[in-house]
Amino acid sequence: MRIILLTQDDPFYLAENIDFLIKNLPEHSEVVATVLFEVSPFGKRETFSEKMKKTYDIFGASFFVHYGTKFILSKLNSNKSVKNILAKHNVPLVEIEGNINKPENLDRIREYEPDLLVSIGGNQIFKRPLLDLAPKGCLNLHTALLPKYRGLMPSFWVLRYNEKYTGVSVFFVDEGIDSGPILVQKKVEIGDRSQEALINHTKQIGMECIIECVEKIHSGNYELIPNPDEELTYFTFPTKEDVAAFLKAGKKFY
């Protein structure tokens, strides 16, 4: 099965996990190309200086210094670069300009003849022509128990609202937001994990779930799990007030 990844060059969490995914895919499947989106933690495209200012304003100085230091160190460590991991595995990049749904970008992706698209941190809305491009569809990884906690930064919100459990959901993408039918879902106990530890834990489980999905799709033997809109909760990016409530509840970022 020919797979194209749709992801971003996240400097914190994705490189090692994508390395694990590529190494552990079943023999009948391979990543033949990758689309790398611009990193956009706030859910929209912003300049680097805008991202820095927004991070400082919302999360405060300690958070800013912690992740600023990690960002600098990631630039000195080739194993923290998604682009370097892909190069190590000889996975070519699909060069696109602007929105992935533009016809010329779809043509570039189509050249690789994908059977399946897999989105990991894909940060653009996917339209029907893209979703129909691969005959096996498009999967997306979301680190929450859908239909709860759709939207941005679920690791923050489950801690903010003192959930005892969260999870990982891998679902077939439709034209909504985190709304497609679920193929694999795992429940995860949060315990006393910080947000950083929770992200690391669920991302690793997420890679294992994607591998399980690939096996199911290859065999054609699977049942879909409903993702009903009537039960959804949806969250955008936190505000300063949300961060204050998070800290007041005794939760930790790292």
Report yes or no: 226 and 141 within 8 Å, Cβ to Cβ: no
Read off the pLDDT band of 113 (50, 70, 90): very high
In this prediction, residue 4 carries a pLDDT of 98
Give the ranges where the chain is alpha helix by DSSP (H).
Answer: 14-24, 48-59, 61-75, 82-88, 103-110, 128-131, 154-160, 195-219, 240-248
Dihedral of CA atoms 84, 25, 131, 198 in degrees, nearest 10, equals: -70
> Rg of the chain over CA atoms, in angstroms?
18
> What is the residue extent of each domain of the chain?
2-248
Architecture, CATH, for domain 2-248: 3-Layer(aba) Sandwich (3.40)
pLDDT in tens, 160-210: 999 999 999 999 999 999 999 999 999 999 999 999 999 999 999 999 999
% pLDDT > 90, the chain: 91
Q: Partners of 225 in the beta sheet?
A: 182
Report d(CA 104, CA 6) in Å as an integer: 16
Per-residue confidence (pLDDT) for residue 40, from 0 to 100: 62
Instruction: Tell me what pLDDT residue 46 has.
Output: 74
Is the CB of residue 55 less than 8 Å from the CB of residue 63? Answer: yes
Burial class from Cβ neighbours inside 10 Å (0-12, 13-18, 19+) for residue 115 reads middle
Mean pLDDT of the chain: 95
Q: Are 180 and 171 in contact (CB under 8 A)?
A: yes
Residue 78 pLDDT class (50, 70, 90 cuts): confident
Please give the structure tokens belonging to residue 148: 């709860």
What is the model's pLDDT at position 99?
Answer: 95
Contacts of 254 (CB under 8 A, 6+ apart): 66, 194, 195, 196, 197
Q: Is residue 37 scored above 60 in pLDDT?
A: yes
Rounded Cα gap, residues 109 and 117, in angstroms: 10
Give the residue with greater pLDDT, 58 vs 45: 58
Supply the pTM of this predicted model.
0.94
Arithmetic mean of pLDDT, 137-151: 98
Does 220 score more than 90 pLDDT? yes
Position 47 scores a pLDDT of 82
pLDDT tens digits, residue range 47-57? 888 889 999 99
